[in-house]
Structure 1
Amino acid sequence: MQASDKGSAKSLADMNGQDLRIGIVQARFNNAITSRLAEACIAELLQMGVSEQHIRHVTVPGALEIPIALNAMADSEDYDALIALGCIIRGETYHFELVANESGAAVTRVSLDNQVPIANAILTVENEDQAWARAEEKGRDAARVAVEMANLMEELQ
């Protein structure tokens, strides 16, 4: 790709959400933050043309439970893209690394194994202030990634 082509590639992204079916899995741990992620995500999906009836939003206890719910949704073949929403805040023990690494790897595995795009918006932050600073934009970004990748996968098949 030539330097002049780089800018045009982004403009080719298909951000039309009409007729797309999107599944969202939200962790309830750090619920205030993950609910803000979900609100921003759903609002962005609706603005992009995804019908409210084509959005399935479920909750699970925490980030480690997100992948199994994503896998069940992917197995159903009812969704064009999926979204993972969670918030892992570093504590004083190794548990943060375990949850962050394992949930992230499992989300990726579900996506690759099922050939379904998953927008991973599981925040991994040092403190609650960082989470709040990122929640709204990361929620919107997850919606955009899901729509763009669903449309790209359709084009590639």
Structure 2
Amino acid sequence: MSSADKNLSVFATSELPDVSHRRFAILVAEWNTEVTEALYKGAYQTLLQYGAKAENIVRGNVPGSYELTLGAQWFALRDDIDAVIALGCVIQGETKHNDYINHAVAQGLTTVSLKTSKPVIFGVLTPNDQQQALDRAGGKHGNKGDEAAITAIKMLGLQKQVYTKF
């Protein structure tokens, strides 16, 4: 089934780890604010819904999606942050700027995650137009912010599984 035909924010939530003691940073790009604020609300509410405490969620803003990488690194290097969720939206335009930005952000966030051994979640929309972005930020295709939050929780669960002695 193509993404045009379903809600993309349907995910398995059985056996999620306890994250009541975990600390999350949600990093939000200010470019395309209507979209990124909806992504933030989805991520924040999902973290709360699945056990995170409000006082353990820190928000940071960056000017645009390109700056998510450095902002994510700053948060990931903090000892009191367990996972970083990076939220942004780069809409395809008349130029190829989106290709360069999306590639740089994806590579940068991956590098930060590997460098710090912490989950750094890519919650950046890469739609063709504004409507596609809205459809994925709480519209008919769900909310990518929800997915990013669940991904952070699941990765923390995997981290605990890998590093817990049996």
Q: State the TM-score, normalized to the length of structure 2.
A: 0.85
1:130-145 equivalent positions in 2, closer than 5 A: 130-136=132-138, 137-145=143-151
Give the Cα–Cα distance (whole angstroms) in 2 for the partners of residues 87 and 28 of structure 1.
9
Give the Cα–Cα distance (whole angstroms) in 2 for the partners of residues 141 and 15 of structure 1.
16
Contact 1:81–1:117 (CA under 8 A) maintained in structure 2: yes
Instruction: Confirm or deny that 1:50 pairs with 2:52.
Output: yes
Once superposed, which parts of structure 1, at least 4 consecutive aligned residues long, lie more than 4 Å away?
A: 10-13
More helix by share: 1
Give the Cα–Cα distance (whole angstroms) in 1 for the partners of residues 98 and 13 of structure 2.
37
Give the Cα–Cα distance (whole angstroms) in 2 for the partners of residues 11 and 39 of structure 1.
19
Give the Cα–Cα distance (whole angstroms) in 1 for the partners of residues 76 and 110 of structure 2.
12
Identity of aligned residues (%): 32
Give the Cα–Cα distance (whole angstroms) in 2 for the partners of residues 11 and 103 of structure 1.
28
Q: State the TM-score, normalized to the length of structure 1.
A: 0.89
Aligned mate of 1:21, from 20, 23, 32: 23
Gaps of 5+ in 1: 1-9
Give the Cα–Cα distance (whole angstroms) in 2 for the partners of residues 70 and 104 of structure 1.
12
Contact 2:109–2:121 (CA under 8 A) maintained in structure 1: no
Contact 1:14–1:152 (CA under 8 A) maintained in structure 2: no
Gaps of 5+ in 2: 1-11
Aligned mate of 2:74, from 68, 72, 75: 72
